[in-house]
Amino acid sequence: MNCPRCQGSLEELSLGDVSTVMCPHCGFADIPVDHIPEGEEPESWREAFNRFYEG
């Protein structure tokens, strides 16, 4: 099986009953992840820069 990003050879990694594939060449990892925001709205770039320069 080849990497979808760089076409390099994929290696299979497993831990217990869970396994995934990764590419040692480009770092691709086929790990399913759910991105569900929690908490407050993310700060804007302007707010982040202001916080950086004030602190």
| 48 half-sphere exposure, CB direction, 13 A CA radius | 5
pLDDT at 47: 93
Which run of H or E residues covers position 15?
A: strand 11-15
pTM for the full predicted model:
0.49
Spell out the domain ranges in the chain: 1-31
What confidence tens digit (pLDDT) does each residue in 1-52 have? Answer: 898 899 999 999 888 888 889 999 998 988 766 767 777 888 899 999 999 9
Asked whether the beta carbons of 31 and 21 are under 8 A apart, the reply is no
